[in-house]
Amino acid sequence: MKAWIVVLGIGAAIEGTAVAARLPVAAQDAQQAQIEKGKVAVTQVCVGCHQGGGGIMRMLEVRTRSAEEWRETVYRMIGRGAQVFPDEIEPMTAYLVATAGRGRPQTSSPAAGADAILARRCQQCHDLERATTKPTSEDWTTIIDRMITLGASVTPAEQQTLIEYLAGLKK
Amino acid sequence: MSSTEKPASDVSRRDFLAATAATGIALSAGPSVSALAQDAPASGAAAAQGAGAAPLPTAETFEMYEGTAAGAVLAQLRAAGVRMLFHTNTSGFVPFWEAVDRAGDVQVINVTHEGHAVAAAAGYAMASRSLGFFFGSGAGVGNSMSNLYCAWKDRVPLLVTYSGGELAEQGKDGFESWDDQLRPTEPFTMWTASLLTDEMTEIVRRAIRFAYGPPSGPVTLVWGNAQPNERVRTRIDKIDLEAARHRFRASPDAIQQAARWLVEAQHPMFVVGPEVSEDGAAKDLLALAEKLSIPVTDTEDDLYANFPTDHPLYIGQLRALRYPRQVDLVIGFGESFKRRRPQPGTPTVHVSHDPNLLGRVYPVDMAIASDIRMAVRDLSDAIDGLLTRDRIARIRSTRLADVSALTRQFNESVDVAMRAFFDRSPLSWERVGFELERALDKNAVIVPELGTQAYKLLRQLKIGGENKLKFGRTIGSALGWGVGASLGVNLALPDRQVVALQGDGGFLFGQSEALWSIARYQAPMLIVIMNNHLYNETRARNSNNGGRLFEAGKDYNGYLGDPDVDFTKIAEAYSLKGEKVKTASELAPALQRALRSMRDGKAVLLDIEVEEDGPSLSNATWYQRHSIAEIQRKARI
């Protein structure tokens, strides 16, 4: 559950930035508030049934859906018993649109590329929070080199993408 | 047991306290759970007698019988009020048939498969709150096992009897015989025994005792060593099945403590389970919940309609609750918490009539062994003693406003979600539920055997209280139960509309033969097949995790559409009516036609095309092909 929330949380921040770049300031704020409200609702509602559901977490990581499709998913979950207030349906939809699918291989931005590498290479052994948190004062190059000696399968190009991405994260 | 004995359940807590004082029975403080289980029945009986609630039995409670051994068993069953027997074909019961014929007031329901017959007997027992009785062949033990298991999970009092199994046949590897014939049934039964000639009626009486418990469940018997037409002289006891389930109550100290917690809690919550209905406690529980406006939840394992789902205090299923956010007391009434539990750390009181279940899967703060109705009434009385009427009224109105405001909003969302798929074809499960609610009688009876999508349909129905009754889905979840069970329900409740809700996958678990009995006994039921050509639950579970097969669009066991079964033709083969519903607009008129047919005495099967749910596959109709015909064709070339 924790990992899922972290995944979605990071995703929201990244996607929120991308969305914000295309909208006026007031609309950006409204959009971000909507996403935040949706995040709260998703974490309160969905975990009631999907607590510990690794499969659901993975599907949320790899699935990309349109707003219409995510809204339908929310409706279906309501039918199955999810307790959603009427004014949470759209925020949940917005949040899922903004965050889900973060584990899919993407090439449109370095962040998205790193995200996919993290999902594919690092999260086989670590949850995302651990994979993106430096355990020591070593630099990321040293840490990733050590991971490779321990069996991580990372190409030189992927290693470079990861280093740039992880070094840029504010921790 | 005396038929004149008054059930101890009719004694209020005040009577109980007065009686114990009058008789000098000391009330020990804080007895252990096991002590409660042992002591409470005696206290209850003492209370009943001490309070003068029932006179000492003086009338003859038994009579002597002379006749065939098989006739003695029937006489004992009739003395317990049993008039409906379920049977699957076998020879060897001629003396029993003769006794049935001589009695003239016993109805035998022939069912063409032992499994369906046991399901029908279970459905009958659940709906009639009586005893289910089956007799059939020892060779059919295996056939009956699946639904025997379901009856055990559902705690249904059943006597399931088989021919054969004579002691003299042990070790011979004889025809249709094996040693210790009932041993395979032992994990699913409360007791197994042989109907030995010199104790037949005593064994039946004992079997009823085991079947009723609590906890209740099936008993299996073999017809023992009676020779054809062997005559016996034996005692027949009058048995009052209404009082057959022993009722016992909790110690007043435990009730008092629970009541104190309940009035102190800011956000208490009730979780109700099947024991509420088993103990006939639904009305009392509703009254207790309303007294302090305590929100009530249940679980997807709930076999019965224990609380009205349209009540403002009904807050949905335990697994997905958002209210109250910070529950500070859970009281579970007859729910074992086997699948869904309160949040860890939530103070919890567990009330059950089965001491073995108390705190088994969830560490509770207080375990109360009691008949549920008695515990509810005692709690209600204790609250009256702790709070003034004004205080009760204030708590009730404040909390009711909070809870009902939330349930109203959640219901609004349910309606919004339902309408989003309203006109879709294939139909949404929500639309089917919506139209059923509109078409059916308020007091219709629903017998669902559906997978994880069931709630989408059931949420649209008003169930419990003065609304519809519900029996199922069987907690055992072994598919192949529902059609037979719904026949038994209709036999018990002949003046109600009975609706069997089936998936296409569940119906294909060999249930079509149950239609024979539905036709034979003119049970004017509605059988709804929710047909999405799929084991939807299985596919969803298989696909949720992604992976190789999901990426390839492959599903090895989910797809059912090849062959595309026409279920209406199966119904017509049994001289029932069948109709396909392919679009949303067709459903309401089809239901009206079905209801007209049911009023005319003929059952109807509606084969409704419903949508699949869950992660869609790119190649949804894929399955692993294999063709014997193709092998033969190649061999011929």
Structure confidence at residue A56 (pLDDT):
57
Structure confidence at residue B52 (pLDDT):
47
Structure confidence at residue B619 (pLDDT):
85
C-alpha–C-alpha distance, residues B511 and B518, integer Å: 12
Residue (of B122, B117, B168, B182) closest to B144 by Cα position: B117
Structure confidence at residue B177 (pLDDT):
84
Structure confidence at residue A167 (pLDDT):
78
Is residue A158's pLDDT more than 70? yes
pLDDT digits (tens, 9 = 90+) for B379-401: 999 999 999 999 999 999 999 99
Structure confidence at residue B31 (pLDDT):
36
A78 touching chain B per CB within 8 A: yes
Backbone angles phi, psi at B292, to 5 degrees: -120, 15
Pairing of strands B231-237, B218-222: unpaired
Q: Which of A75, A87, A123 to mutate to test the interface with B (most CBs of B within 10 A)?
A: A75
C-alpha–C-alpha distance, residues B74 and B202, integer Å: 12
Structure confidence at residue B594 (pLDDT):
98
Confidence band, pLDDT 50/70/90 cuts, at residue A102: low
Average pLDDT over residues B556-581: 97
Question: Which structure tokens are listed for A3?
Answer: 């990992």
Structure confidence at residue A51 (pLDDT):
61
Provide, as residue numbers in chain B, all residues whose Cβ is less than 8 Å from the Cβ of A80: 452-453, 455-456
| Least confident stretch, B234-248, B376-390, B574-588 | B234-248
| Least confident stretch, A22-26, A43-47, B160-164, B478-482 | A22-26
C-alpha–C-alpha distance, residues B34 and B54, integer Å: 28
Mean pLDDT for chain B?
A: 89
Nearest C-alpha in A relative to B433: A79
Is residue B318's pLDDT more than 90? no
Structure confidence at residue A129 (pLDDT):
64
Question: Which structure tokens are listed for A169?
Answer: 């994260």
Average pLDDT over residues B302-331: 90
Confidence band, pLDDT 50/70/90 cuts, at residue B20: very low
Residue (of B437, B432, B404) closest to B418 by Cα position: B432
What is the four-CA torsion angle of B589, B593, B598, B604, rounded to 10 degrees?
A: -90
Average pLDDT over residues A111-128: 65
Provide, as residue numbers in chain A, all residues whose Cβ is less than 8 Å from the Cβ of B544: 53, 55-56, 59
Is residue B413's pLDDT more than 80? yes
**Is there a contact between B288 and B379 (Cβ–Cβ < 8 Å)?**
yes
Structure confidence at residue B4 (pLDDT):
33
Most confident of A65-79, B82-96, B155-169: B82-96
**Is there a contact between B140 and B118 (Cβ–Cβ < 8 Å)?**
no
CA dist list (Å): B560 to B423, B505, B507, B533 = 25, 7, 12, 5
Question: In which residue are the tokens 């069970």 written?
Answer: B485
Provide, as residue numbers in chain B, all residues whose Cβ is less than 8 Å from the Cβ of A62: 546
Average pLDDT over residues B420-425: 95
Confidence band, pLDDT 50/70/90 cuts, at residue B164: confident
Pairing of strands B107-110, B132-136: unpaired
Structure confidence at residue A124 (pLDDT):
57
Distance from CA of B297 to the nearest CA of A (A): 12
3-state SS assignment for residue B79: helix
Distance from CA of A56 to the nearest CA of B (A): 6
Amino acid at B45: A
Structure confidence at residue A161 (pLDDT):
79
DSSP code of residue A121: I
Is residue B636's pLDDT more than 90? yes
C-alpha–C-alpha distance, residues B125 and B131, integer Å: 5
3-state SS assignment for residue B314: strand
Is residue B17's pLDDT more than 50? no
Structure confidence at residue A171 (pLDDT):
47
B530 touching chain A per CB within 8 A: no
Supply the angle between the helices B282-292 and B372-386 in degrees, to the nearest 10. Answer: 20
Question: In which residue are the tokens 């004062």 written?
Answer: A137
Is residue A59's pLDDT more than 60? yes
Question: Which structure tokens are listed for A111?
Answer: 């962040």
Is residue B129's pLDDT more than 80? yes
Average pLDDT over residues B285-295: 98
**Is there a contact between B420 and B313 (Cβ–Cβ < 8 Å)?**
no
Reported pTM: 0.83
C-alpha–C-alpha distance, residues A50 and B452, integer Å: 14
The stretches of chain A forming alpha helices (DSSP H) are 2-20, 25-45, 47-50, 54-62, 67-79, 89-99, 110-117, 128-131, 140-149, 156-168
Is residue B188's pLDDT more than 90? yes
DSSP code of residue B75: H
β-partners of residue B66 are B233
Residue (of B617, B592, B588) closest to B604 by Cα position: B592
Nearest C-alpha in A relative to B613: A76
Average pLDDT over residues B345-352: 95
Question: Which structure tokens are listed for B187?
Answer: 């994990």
A·B CB contacts under 8 A: 75
Question: In which residue are the tokens 């209020």 written?
Answer: B12
Structure confidence at residue B331 (pLDDT):
97
What is the four-CA torsion angle of B298, B536, A45, B302, rounded to 10 degrees?
A: 0
Confidence band, pLDDT 50/70/90 cuts, at residue A164: confident
Closest CB to A45 among B322, B429, B456: B322
C-alpha–C-alpha distance, residues B362 and A8, integer Å: 32
Percent of chain B with pLDDT over 70: 91
Average pLDDT over residues B179-207: 94
pLDDT digits (tens, 9 = 90+) for B148-161: 999 999 999 999 99
Confidence band, pLDDT 50/70/90 cuts, at residue B478: very high
C-alpha–C-alpha distance, residues B402 and B226, integer Å: 66
Percent of chain A with pLDDT over 70: 58
Average pLDDT over residues A83-112: 77
Residue (of B162, B144, B147, B156) closest to B96 by Cα position: B162
Angle at B183 between CA B181 and CA B186, to 5 degrees: 135
Average pLDDT over residues B482-498: 98
Residue (of B407, B380, B178) closest to B312 by Cα position: B407
A55 touching chain B per CB within 8 A: yes
Question: In which residue are the tokens 């294999």 written?
Answer: B626
β-partners of residue B528 are B501, B606
pLDDT digits (tens, 9 = 90+) for B49-98: 344 456 676 666 789 999 999 999 999 999 999 999 999 999 989 999 99
Average pLDDT over residues B580-587: 98
Question: In which residue are the tokens 């209905």 written?
Answer: B277
